[in-house]
Amino acid sequence: MRIIITGGTGLIGRALSANLAADGHQVILLSRSPDRVTGLTKGVQAEGWDARTAEGWGHLADGADAIVNLVGESLAAGRWTEERKRRIRDSRVNGGQAVVQAVETATNKPGVIIQSSGIGYYGPRGDEVITEQDSAGNDFLSQICIDWEASTAHVEEMGIRRPIIRSAVVFSADAFAFKRMVLPFKLFAGGPIGSGRQRLPWIHIADEVAAIRFLIEHPDASGPFNLSAPNPVTNAQFSRILGKVMGRPAFMRVPAFAMRLLFGEMATVLLDGQRAVPQRLLDLGFTFRFPEIENALRDLLS
């Protein structure tokens, strides 16, 4: 297969491209600075784009088997000022519109577009079990996900299959967020955040990649899919298990007010959560390699 990945130089894109290339697939990563992209796996090439239009790369969509649209500015790159919020939204919407432009001009159109989104689509939901049938929330992250998903909706009118991946927090040894979670425990200062009762939807990077490939290759897969481990945990459970795996204490609770002072509105990512389960993936027969948090942490920290 020939697969194009937007946002392909990020955590998920690099892992996915290496996995695909290892099986002999041709992978094209779109980057605004392709000359600076290094360390790519053999069989993976970087091409330039402006992340807003199909100019200069749209021809690559002609005859491609799939496009995986992962583009979007990091949510954790700084406090959510009004300007940052605008950039977060625009990076996602503009990238999706560029994909649509490329597909519109392709004579031989891709068979599938994988559209990225997030578990934040559902908004803070306490301990309620969330499946793909549940409605969107009404906070900033929810609206971002709604707009992100809508950015490529037009390809369905062209007869193209479009699975939507609502990803949980991706655990990887290379992930910035995961490293920040682990650091306090290395310093013997780890513990729950806020009440500790908030749910932490998570997924191991190996399962994230495997699920995306499953959706590319599964002809019946379309619509939204929660890419989250089937056993979400509370923040307190995560802290206890992480401390156990690392042989560190886990009693240094971080007050919610301190997180809000430090991160502002962005603290919702840490203080609120969703008890999301991957019902549609399980219904289609997808098998998680790391369904339980302890095994996932042991693999990443070994």
Give 8 or 65, the one with higher predicted confidence.
Answer: 65
Please report the pLDDT score of residue 253 as a whole number.
86
Please report the pLDDT score of residue 207 as a whole number.
98
Does pLDDT of 77 surpass 80? no
* Superfamily of segment(s) 2-170+203-228: NAD(P)-binding Rossmann-like Domain (3.40.50.720)
User: Would you list the domain boundaries of the chain?
Assistant: 2-170+203-228
Asked if residue 194 lies in contact with residue 259, where contact means CB atoms within 8 angstroms, the answer is: yes
Tell me what the pLDDT averaged over the chain comes to.
Answer: 93
**H or E stretch at 202:** strand 202-204
Cα distance between residue 55 and residue 51, in whole Å: 9
- CA torsion, points 37, 43, 49, 53, in degrees to nearest 10? -150
Q: Which of 186, 197, 297 is nearest to 242 (CA)?
A: 297
Please tell me the pTM assigned to this model. Answer: 0.95
The predicted-structure confidence for 108-143, as pLDDT tens digits, reads as follows 999 999 999 999 999 998 889 999 999 999 999 999
The predicted-structure confidence for 245-289, as pLDDT tens digits, reads as follows 999 998 888 877 777 776 777 778 777 889 999 999 999 999 999
